[in-house]
Amino acid sequence: MGGRQRHIGVAERRDRLALRHRLTAPARAATPEEVAGSLVALHGTDPATVHLAVAARLADAGSTVAEVERALYEDRTLVRMHGMRHTVFVFPTGLAAVVHASTGLAIAVKARAGLIKNMAAGSDGRLTAEWLAEVEASALAALARRGQATVSELALDEPRLKEQFIYGAGKSYQAPHTVSSRLMRVLGVEGRVVRGRPLGTWTSSQFRWAVAPPHPELPPAEAQEKLLRHWLAACGPATEADLKWWTGWRVTDVRRALAAIDAVPVTLDGGATGYVTAGDEEPVVPRDEPWAALLPALDPTAMGWQERDWYLSPDLRPALFDRSGNVGPTVWWNGRVVGGWAQRPDGEVVWHLPAPEGLGREERALIGAEASRLSSWLGGTRVTPRFRTPLEKQLSDPSDG
């Protein structure tokens, strides 16, 4: 491409984030489907994250739980399934085939091969690939009859699901694994089953399983192009490193897909090259009103990019992330992370700004209003993140003041 590359600085990136991730009041959505479509994917590893991430972005968040459950379990316009980086996400159902072909297929091949190898080694050859094929066919038939079921319920129909093998036999980490838990994970990344309703409330991590809704089989390259186009529209500009990290693809796949969709290179602050979709180079209209947001642990905005300095100071990372790189609950001000929040045992939402440069009384008042909005929405429901982070643990303990 000829001509001088357009420059997109930090301020404009934050404006894009605010609008496209529906974090300012005028940009908030009407339905969970709109939220998921704007973000491409909602992290689903922690079930509470899905509801909290949607509630933070709805104009009327009062019926969030019921509306999310409608979309997931009744209308099936959203689906909870394995996706990028072998992680569970909630996607618009229309993207299920794209995610499966672009990221799931390669993961699935390795996952199945690993299960067969582990089973054979840990059972003295008793549990074979042929045996597994019989068990999974029987389990899937039982799941289709039941509609939704827990693993324990499926084991009533197919008792062989309860068989065990020794994982890592002879190693210091050896442990018994049950066929059912490993098999359902493999079937999940293969796109054959999805998570169904939880056994408890919307914060429960104990899920039923359901047969995946049918979807067309797409060529992987075509699916990668479609997913990349969606994600850049939501998160561009992004660097190659961001794209490789978010998708879990090889860098050669990232570069091929960027070329195939005619992604436009732009310069970023610091000299890095980012990419946007063709036609998305024009400046966004700057927002007029300041905004604040309290986003949950594993929120897709906080976890959206690998290179995060433009919205997250490196000084804040030790307090806001666990050792595995999972982000905790975050406080946002005008497109950057300024602190974290948590719930006390009595349900009170508390927040803290470790480095409040430039945030005065008015700014704190707006953050406080968002905390009150969140507290009112929770209505006394206690949410503990699945992955605890230093600041969240500190704030949630009243003895720490």
Please compute Rg for the chain using Cα positions: 22
293: left (phi > 0), else alpha (psi -120 to 50), else beta?
beta
Residue 29 has φ and ψ, to the nearest 5°, of -95, 170
CA separation for the pair 207, 199 (Å, rounded) = 6
Residue 288's pLDDT band (boundaries 50, 70, 90)? confident
3-state secondary structure of 17: helix
CA separation for the pair 142, 159 (Å, rounded) = 11
Which DSSP string corresponds to 291-314?
A: -EEEE-TT-TTTTS-S--TTTB-G
* Both structure tokens of 334: 């005008």
For the segment 99-147, what is each residue's pLDDT rounded down to a tens digit?
999 988 888 899 999 999 999 999 988 999 999 999 999 999 999 999 9
Is the link from the previous residue into 385 a cis peptide, with omega within 30 of 0? no
For the segment 195-250, what is each residue's pLDDT rounded down to a tens digit?
888 988 999 988 899 998 888 889 999 999 999 999 999 999 999 999 999 999 99
How many CB atoms neighbour CB 28 within 10 A? 16
CA separation for the pair 322, 308 (Å, rounded) = 16
The residues spanned by each domain of the chain are 94-211, 312-400
For the segment 294-347, what is each residue's pLDDT rounded down to a tens digit?
999 999 999 999 999 999 999 999 999 999 999 999 999 999 999 999 999 999
292-295 β-sheet, strand order? 292-295, 330-333, 336-343, 349-352
* Both structure tokens of 205: 């991590």
